[in-house]
Structure formats: structure tokens, C-alpha cells
Structure 1
Amino acid sequence: MRKFLLLWLIASACLSVNAQQKFRVIGYLRTNNILEGQAGQVDYGKVTHINIAFINPDSAGNFTSMPGLKAFADKMHGLHIKVLASIGGGLAPAYYTSLLAEGNRQALVQKLAQLSESYNLDGIDVDLEGERVDANYESFITMLSAALKPKGKLLTAAVATVYKDRYTDKVLSLFDFINIMSYDKTGPWRPEKPGPHAPYEMAVEDMNYWAGEKGIAKDKLNLGIPFYGYGFGPGAPSDMSFRKIVSTYSGAENKDEWTLPEGGTIYYNGIPTIKNKTTLALERAGGIMIWQLLGDAQGKYSLLNAVDEVVHQKK
């Protein structure tokens, strides 16, 4: 009986470790962070994937040379971390509409496939939003999938629930995994609607839609969390990294908003909420996605540390 119990405990521990190893922690870094050597501040032992944002072509569909990118990817591979080029972004160039059109689509796909090969990247992350997810999006993703998958490359996407009707079931089925941008519910572009831009309730609603209503498999979903805040009202900055928030306002790390003497308020996710969202992701998703890693604080105030503690059940 004791032998059986011991074997059961060992097997349970192995299953727990395997589950933790499979859980993705995806962090975005900006292109200039990589090329200008700022990315050394990240604790890479706590991430599984790096998405480099944003590597966009010019209006002719050509990509500029990026010295240092391959060296970074090679270094990450030595740490067993996958590296993807993320295209688009919330302010993606308007000419994507032309690049995705039938006459230009194949050339763009070929150049993206070559980009992943040239810099030894593990795939392409597509962060096209709003009007950029147009009538040509499905054809583009279908062609890009056909170009990347035979080479063993990943194809992922950043999606927002507010644009949910623009993503077809076929498109969603082609992504290896999907990063849910569960933030930016409001922001400086909507000064008339101040308030939390990434409340816990939004994460629950987003998971209810993508995992529940859409029925996407748990392992394909990553819950997005913000390492930044937005300010509204007198004296409040329009945006502020979590690093800057906790270094400026003592005690802010355990709150989700901070009211300034002038009357304005900064809204963000503090350590308790990040831990709660990570618990939610462990229950209903296959990972966490972070925008963006260099917004984090250091040491005991680090949100990445908070994510890691929950994933590995540290106390």
C-alpha cells in the first residue's frame, strides 16, 4: 500500500510539473528593445515565448535589415525560449489593406516566411486589429499558414473581443494559439470614459467568450495582461508603466488604481489582480500573454514574479 501511495505521489508530481512546463508565459518586447540592447533586464527564466513587436514591412512589402535580431533569437533558443516576429499592432500602417489584397498577398507571405528563416525565428504573430481584419484577412492567414507550417514554424494571433465578429472560424482554427488582448477597454483615446482599462471582470468575460461561446480549446488560448496603466483627469499621465507607477507611488503595487492629489486617477493591474488573472488562466487557458515585459518592476514588486509564483504554486 505504501509503495502504491509513493508511486501515485510521484506520478502526480510529474503531472503537475509537466502542466507547469506546458503553460505558456508569452512576453512582448519592442523591436528597439532588442536592437538597442535593452532586453537584458528581463528574467527570461520566467517566460516561454518572446514576441518582438512590431516588425512591419514598408508600403511595398519589404522588410529592413535588423542586425542583432538573429543573435537575440539564438540566445533565446539557448534558454529554450521561442521567438516570434509580431506584425501589425494597434497602430498598424494603413497600407496593410493593400498588402493583404490579392495582388500583393503572396509576395507578403513569402517575405514573412523568409523573415522567419533569415533570423532563425520560431514563427509569426499576427496582431492586425479593427479595420485591418478585413475581407482579405482569411485568405492571408490561410496562405501564411501554408507557408509556415511545413517549415515547423508557429502561426499565432493577438485578438480583441471587441472585434470578435471579424474573425472567422476557419481563421481561428489555423492559429497554433491565440493571445486574447484583455485590456484597453478604455484609455486616453476615450477621455470621456475614465475607469479601469483591464479589470478582472473583463478577463472573465473574454474567457467566457473565447473558451465558452466560441469553444476554442483551452490549450490554444493565452490570457493577455497589462504591465502598464492609463491615467484620467487632472495631473494624471496618459499612460505609465507599472515600473514607473510603483517607483513613484509608495504602496501602489497592491492596488489597481491610484488617485493623485490633483484629482486624477491612474488605473492598472497590481500584484493581487495579476495573480488572480494568472489563476484564471491556469484554470481556463493554456498561458498568459504580457504587454509588455519592460513595463515591469523589479524584485518584490515584479508582476512577472507574481505570475511565476502562481504558475509554480510558490508561497
Structure 2
Amino acid sequence: MKPIKLFFQLICLSLILTGCSKTPVKAAEPEIKKEDPKKEESGRFKVVGYMFAGGDLLAESAKIDLSKITHLNIAFINPDALGVFAPVAGLTELVKKAHLQQVKVIAAIAGGDPPQYLKELLKPDKRKILVDGLMQLTRTYNLDGIDVDLEGDFVNEHYEAFVTDLSAALKKESKLMTAAVATWNSAAYSDKALALLDLINIMSYDQTGPWRKDKPGPHSTYEAAEIDFNHWNVLRGIPAERLVLGLPFYAYGFGADIPESLTYGDIVQRYPGAEKVDLWELPGKGTFYYNGWPTIKKKLSYALQKKAGGVMIWQLLGDAGGEHSLLKAIHGDIKN
């Protein structure tokens, strides 16, 4: 019986090998569906925090509780005059760390004092270079989008065309496009340009400052926040869920013998009890104006009541640690 058994075994092996010689059928790879970024962003209250791009990004991020924000904007990442972006140390590791916490990371370009050559890169003959460079930046670091922080006279006749081209490129890769806007400069932003933005960060601060020493006083009142939000929501017709109300984590000082600016963290560390008020006076020296706990919480309550897209923080490293943290207060009120 053994030879017969061996014979049948050889026949079976032959049939198996014959079957294997046929062209294999490759299993279809599952289709990866990319979520529409606008759909993904809708329905949740955002806490957008800016963080300076200088220094060791990964080390600096250790000072921030990423679990209490939804978006981290790295400010500012600008190209050189040729539109080339230099490597950003620590950004790859920071993006990985943030994504593990479900935090989106966005590169913010320009800023309040950007290089003047950016105006040249916005022009038609250079615009593609800038857009292509920004797209490569998002791919290199796996970023979730670009924040267009062009301000003042950088919001010029080329602004609309630039955000139109950038929006088209970003949407092809399911990336976000956001922007920081100032109410005083509202007329410079066209309706078409505003409609392309997924989130609009309202810079509701800097109504005065060290550049206006003749106008001492608060630079970011609750009343101003209401006026700014109403302007963009009602007068400019932007849906509330796309508007993000800006909150300052810093103070301006007016006086002959005090610093022109301090972070909120500096204020509460130097002056116990400062977190409970919005100004701190040093007799004979000057006064610091900022937003303490009561005003920050009142602005947050207003944003929630208006069903705003969220709140924006300039900037996260200005916060205090421990029980005096404004970010902790914001997070606690959102959860309650």
C-alpha cells in the first residue's frame, strides 16, 4: 500500500504546483477615504494655540499641555526671498507627538512683522513658487494645514488670488487653510477670500500697546471681543462655527519704569493675586494691562453662547503653570 499512497501524494503535489503557476490574483487594497476637513472641523469647539517656531520645538512643547488644545499653530515659518523653506528643527517629532494627542498642527506664515519680500512672492509671477513651497512643507512634516497670517498692507491686491490658489492646492490633499484677521483691516479682505477659509482667527487684542504710549489702557477688553465677533459674524456674514475668538496671554505695560510687555505667566509669578484682575498697578512706576481669569472665562462663555468655532490663544508659552493657568481654566469651563 505504501507505493500507491506515494503515487497519489505525487499527483496531489503536481496539481498544487500547477495551480501556483497561474498568475496570482492580487487582493484589492482597501480604499483610504480622506475626510472633508470642513466636515471634520464642524461640530466641536476648538482651542487653537499659537507657539513660536524658534528654538527647540520639541523641548518647548513640553511646557504645553497638548491634551487641552485641538490645534497647534507654529508661528512663524517663512521662506527665504526665493520661496525656499529651511528645515525646521524638531517639527517632525512635535507633529508626531501632537497627532498622538489628536491635535492638528498647522504652519503659520507671515506674522505681524514678516519679511518684506513676501509681498513679491504673492505676485502672479512668483505665487506658484510660494504655493508649491507651502505644499511641500505640509508633506515634509505631515502638517494638517497652513495658517495665513498676512496682516496690514500684506493683505493687498494679491491676497485673494494667493489664498484662492493655496486653498485649491490644500483641498486636493485634504488640508486646512485658516487665517488670522484684524477687525480694523476688515475692508481689505474680500468676501471670496474669506469664504475659502476653514477657520478665521479673530485677533481681538492690541487695541493699544507700547507703540501708542499716548493711549495707555487695556488692549483686549470683553466689550471689544463682542464688537469684533459681531463684526465678522453679522456685518461680514461669516458663520459663527468658522469664527475663532482670540485671547491674549500677555500684558502691556504703560509707565516710565516698567517693562513694555510681559507674559501672563510673568505677571502672576511676580504679583500674587494678579490672576484675579485685568490690571496691576505699580505706584509711581506704571500699570500692566492684560486678561486675568475672570475676563478670559467671560470671553469663553460668550464664544460658547454664540456657538463660535472656538477660541484662539496668542500665545501658549505665555501661560502660567499650575493652578493659575489660563489654558487650564479654559479647558475646565469647556468640559463643564
1:203 aligns with 2:203: no
Partner of 2:136: 114
Q: Is the 8 A contact 1:20 1:311 kept in 2?
A: no
Deviation at 1:43, TM superposition (A): 1.0
Q: Residues 152-167 of structure 1 correspond to what in structure 2 (within 5 A)?
A: 152-167=174-189
- Provide TM-score, normalisation by structure 2: 0.86
Q: Find 2:71's aligned residue among 23, 46, 49.
A: 49
Which ranges of 4 or more aligned residues in structure 1 deviate by more than 4 Å?
none
- Provide TM-score, normalisation by structure 1: 0.91
Partner of 1:28: 50
Deviation at 1:83, TM superposition (A): 0.1
Flag structure 2 segments of 5+ consecutive residues without an equivalent: 1-40
Tell me, in whole angstroms, the C-alpha distance in 2 between the residues paired with 1:34 and 1:211.
38
Partner of 2:312: 289
Tell me, in whole angstroms, the C-alpha distance in 1 between the residues paired with 2:148 and 2:237.
21
Partner of 1:136: 158
Partner of 2:146: 124
Deviation at 1:286, TM superposition (A): 1.1
User: Among the aligned pairs, what percent are the same residue?
Assistant: 52
Distance 1:21 1:176, change over 3 A: closer
Q: Residues 265-304 of structure 1 correspond to what in structure 2 (within 5 A)?
A: 265-284=287-306, 285-304=308-327
Q: Is the 8 A contact 1:125 1:158 kept in 2?
A: yes
Q: Is the 8 A contact 2:58 2:93 kept in 1?
A: no
Partner of 2:273: 251
Deviation at 1:66, TM superposition (A): 1.3
Partner of 2:122: 100
| 2:314 aligned partner, one-letter code | W
Deviates further, 273-282 or 259-268:
259-268
Deviates further, 60-69 or 162-171:
60-69
Deviation at 1:33, TM superposition (A): 5.1
3-state DSSP of counterpart to 1:41 = coil
Tell me, in whole angstroms, the C-alpha distance in 1 between the residues paired with 2:66 and 2:42.
16
Tell me, in whole angstroms, the C-alpha distance in 2 between the residues paired with 1:68 and 1:300.
29
Tell me, in whole angstroms, the C-alpha distance in 1 between the residues paired with 2:220 and 2:136.
36
Greater C-alpha radius of gyration: 2
| 1:64 aligned partner, one-letter code | A
3-state DSSP of counterpart to 1:144 = helix
Partner of 2:89: 67
| 1:288 aligned partner, one-letter code | V
Deviation at 1:236, TM superposition (A): 2.1
3-state DSSP of counterpart to 2:49 = strand
Distance 1:36 1:271, change over 3 A: same
Q: Is the 8 A contact 2:56 2:89 kept in 1?
A: no
| 1:289 aligned partner, one-letter code | M
Flag structure 1 segments of 5+ consecutive residues without an equivalent: 1-18
Deviation at 1:214, TM superposition (A): 1.3
Distance 1:44 1:35, change over 3 A: closer
Deviates further, 227-236 or 161-170:
227-236
Q: CA RMSD in A?
A: 1.6
Partner of 1:312: 335
